[in-house]
Each structure stands twice: as structure tokens, then as C-alpha cells.
Structure 1
Amino acid sequence: MSRRRRNDYDDLCSSFQNLSFDSRPCTNPNIININPGCKPVWYKNLHPSDDAYQEICDLIAYDDLVVENIVEVHNSYLKKAYHKKKRAKRFEYGQVSEGLFFHGTVKANLDSICTYNFDWRLYGSSTGHKFGKGVSFSPSAKYASHYSHDTYHKVMIVANVLIGRICEGYKDMSVPPRGFDTSQNDKETVIVKYDDNEFYPSYKLYYHL
């Protein structure tokens, strides 16, 4: 029996079989694309009378948290990448919401985050990942403060975060189901992001409890 010749339909089927729906890069592209010889980041100390300072204090809503200083982060490369992602998500979802969220961390991580952004590939390597293997944020400063492990003078990042559609997350979620880009826990105290530049580290919040 003669063997049937391969045609375009076979090639199409083969391409679907080999398609990976998790097409995210395995390494943080910002580390590669930012010239290591330059310093793309500069900082501005906010005054308590500044609107941004007041906005963040209003978001904190946690009487035990004493603000020491709020520093605005200026990284033109990351900001351009963030706005590019916002345009892409608007095209994908029709609309996208944007909010300020808290991310508890330690001082040793600040320079890396402000230079290269958060990296979802680490997915809670130091604290675990209860609601998905990505970068976790919280609308609650009190909740985020549990992940700032410096002894007294602590820090957290206040980040702008893009949200298209939200699903419920679970510990081993690598990416959300098709049509979603964000997961959260049932108490809505944590959201998890799974792709690069869907967040921007806007402020460093120094505080103690």
C-alpha cells in the first residue's frame, strides 16, 4: 500500500500538537534588555503633603503601621513596558482595570525589584505560593506586612497592577485558564499575576509596626 503524501492539513495538526499555551519567557526579559552599565532608576522622596503620599496613607487603613518614608520610583524602561502591556491587554480584554496594591518584601530585594521589576518565575520562593505560581499582591497593607521580614524598620512596595479578568486561584496554578490573567483567593486579600510587566513598582514604603 502506498504511503499518503504529507499535506498542509498534517502540518497544521502537528503545529497544534506542539503548541504550548504557556509561551512566557523562561528568563526575565527586563534583565536582558536593560543595559547593565546604565542606571535606569532614580528616586524621589515624597513629602507628607504630596497627593501621592496622602493617597497611599489612605490605602493603608492599618493603625499599627507607622509610615516612616514613601519614595517614588522612576524607571523609564519599566514604565514604558508597563504601558505597552496595558495597551495589549486592552486589545485582548476590551478593557483593563488598574489599581495600587501592596507587596511585602525585604530591603535586600528592593534594588532588584525597582531595576528589573517583580519576577513571577520566583513565585514565592521565600514565602510559598498559596494561590498561584506568580507574583502576589494585596489590597491590604496589613496582610502584605506579614511578608516584610526585616526586624523593625520594614519595607513594602506599592505597585500599579493591571487586571483583565480574575479567576479563583489555587496553590499549583501555573497560569490562569484561557480568558483570565489574574487569580485571587476567596477572601480577596491576595491577587496573583503571571506575566511580565503587568505591574510596575511605583513606590517604596518604609514603615514600622
Structure 2
Amino acid sequence: MFTCWGREDNDTEPMETSYYSCDWFYQAVCGSWHRTEVSSHFITIPKLFPTCFHKASFPLQDDPVNPISSSEMEMLYCRDPLGSITFNTAGGNFRIDFAGYWKTNIRTGQRQKLKRSFSTDHIERCKCKDQAPSIPAYWENMDPNARFKAFKVSWQTSEYQNVERYVREIGLLQEPLRVLYRVQNVDLWELYSRKKIQLMRIKGQSDIEQRWLFHGTGKNNVENICLYNFDCRISESKRQGHVLGKGTYFALHASYADKYSRILSQGVNDTRIMFLARVIVGKYTTGRPDLCKPDGDQIENIHDSCVDNTLCPRIFVVFNSDQIYPEYVLEYGG
């Protein structure tokens, strides 16, 4: 995963620098300090079978830029406080310089500040507890005053390859993926993260089902969706036959969402556009045309979304925009 530069392991013994062990923190895009942790988030996806779908897990790391834990970083630091390490991740190739407390993207030269601090209960509480949901560490640095930015993802990264494989194998899209953009919108990400936490707390669950789902659209809608998210009210007013409810519709298969994609520009390539969104589907029920929320007029909200078929869902309807994060914009076809 990573390579140590400097002294060989047998040249020095790990040294005890203090009575307390230390942890490592990185300064996120939001300016807050977050503990360096190894964490993976799993999006539930269907695995294709002849008759139906069975659930499987597709790993989607929230922090792939930090593939080593705080304790591992501390161990390497103690071996050589002036040394450095390099590693490859979904976000690119990185180098950590212990002497200067920097993490550097080798390709772009962008740097992220690091901090080493005693791991006392007080520090943990100040740094990590009760903070806003963490922004994914693989996000690139952006202007803090920008409301959103779409970053082109290099085809050479594992991030691109994972999405491309998902689009092809799960989305069943036959046409080639031309360009992939990662949408970075701090406000929408925090709304999505808080909604996930809220639903888990209300339901008394340690997790809730999320999926990567497709939504075809036209070029004129892309900027507004990236900025404000999908608007369920607008979706409802523009839809002629909302057979599963008056919300925003997503498809399991990109090949189905392709019906609603519009050509970017008429020409030889006929490139089209589509969103790959992260969606909290939770517990779902069969939809109906009159529904404005999954459970209709019932006071208690048991369900979180509507589907076409609860056993083998292919179409999902969401009525609350906070359950959606427009994660990627796909340009494809031609």
C-alpha cells in the first residue's frame, strides 16, 4: 500500500516519545481537524441473477486518501521523524513528509496540513466529537467561497475505474463513458450526512440502506442540480405520469435512465449526460401515483422511499432531497 523512504526497519527501534501515545489529524477542506482513520463506506448494490436481485456490498471509501491509520502513521513517525512515506489511493499518489507535517498530492502538488497531538480524551472530544459530518478526504481542495465545484476525475485513478465498472456491470450501460466529474458541494453533503444520521437515530439502527442510482437529464439542468440538488417539487410538476409517486425518480440501471438523457450537442458523437447519485433508500414500499411521501397520509413514517417492485426494485422514488447527493456527472455515448 505504501513505501517508506529513509532508514531501514532494522536500523532503529521504535522510540517512546512521551507518556501518552499520539494521534495524527489532517485539516479538511472545511478547515476543521479530523483524525486520520481507515474507513470504508459500503453502498448496497444488486448482484445480477437470472430471476431476481440479491443484495451485495460495493465498497465506496469515504477516506481513501488516508489508507493508513493514525497509529500506523505514529509508528512510522517514531521510526524516522524526518522521513516520508508514499502511497497510492483512489484519489491519486500521495507523499507524507513527517518533518514538515504535510501530505502532498504528487501529481497536482496540492498540499494538506497534518498535525500530531496527544491522544487524550480531551483532545478527542475537541477534535472529533459533535462536529459536522466529515467531508470525504478524497475530495480535492477548492475555494471555500465556492458553492460547488465539479472536478474531472482522471481515468487512471481507481475512483474512475470503480465508477466505470459500476456503470457497465450494474448500470448495464453499453455506451462508453467519456468524462466523469465528481461533484463537491459541502452544503449538500452535510445535509445528506445529517439526514442519514437522523434516520438511523429515529429508527434505532446502526446503518441504513444507500444505493448508487442513475438519473438522466439534460445539460441545462446540471448546474442547478449540482448547486441546489434535485427538487422533488419540480420533478413532480414536470412529470406527466408519476405512477409511483410525486417525487424524484432514480433507476437501478443506467440503460433505463438513458431514456431521459438529452444529447449535449448535435453532431457526430451525440454525447449525453447522466447523474450517478448517492441515495438513501432505507426501507421502501410499492409506490402509487397519488403519493407525496412513502406512507401517504399516515402519521407515522415507516418507509423512506417508493419502488416499482419491493422484491426486485429497479425504479426508486425519493420525496426528500436531503436523501440525495448528486455525486457524479457522467458524459457518455458517441
Q: Same fold (TM over 0.5)?
A: yes
Residue number in structure 1 paired with 2:282: 164
Q: Does 1:131 align with 2:249?
A: no
- Give the count of matched residue pairs: 172
Q: Which residue of 2 aligns with 1:116?
A: 228
- Structure showing greater Rg: 2
Root-mean-square deviation over aligned CA pairs: 1.6
Partner residue, 1:180? 303
* In structure 2, distance between residues paired with 1:117 and 1:167: 24
TM-score normalized by the length of structure 2: 0.49
Kindly indicate whether the alpha-carbon contact (under 8 Å) linking 2:208 and 2:280 is maintained by their aligned counterparts in 1.
Answer: yes
Question: Residue 143 of structure 1 contacts residue 189 of structure 1 at CA under 8 Å; is this kept in 2?
Answer: no
Superposed CA deviations along residues 137-182 of structure 1, whole A, max 9, x for unmatched, are 1110101111102252110011111122100012221111130110
Distance 1:111 1:68 in 2: 19
- Gaps of at least 5 residues in structure 2 are 1-144, 296-300
4+ residue segments displaced more than 4 Å:
none
- SS class of match (2:202): helix
Change (3 A) 1:70 1:97: same
Q: % of aligned pairs identical?
A: 27
Would you say the 8 A contact 1:60–1:142 is kept in 2? no
Structure with greater helix percent: 1
Matched, 1:66 2:189: no
Distance 1:123 1:172 in 2: 14
In structure 2, C-alpha distance between the alignment counterparts of 1:63 and 1:92, rounded to whole Å: 37
178-187 or 53-62, larger mean C-alpha shift: 53-62
SS of structure 2 residue aligned to 1:167: strand
Aligned mates of 1:131, 1:78 — CA distance in 2: 25
1:85 aligns to what SS in structure 2? helix
Q: Which of 188, 193, 198 does residue 323 from structure 2 map onto? A: 198
Match of 2:273 in 1: 155
Structure with more relative contact order (C-alpha pairs < 8 Å, separation 6 or more): 1
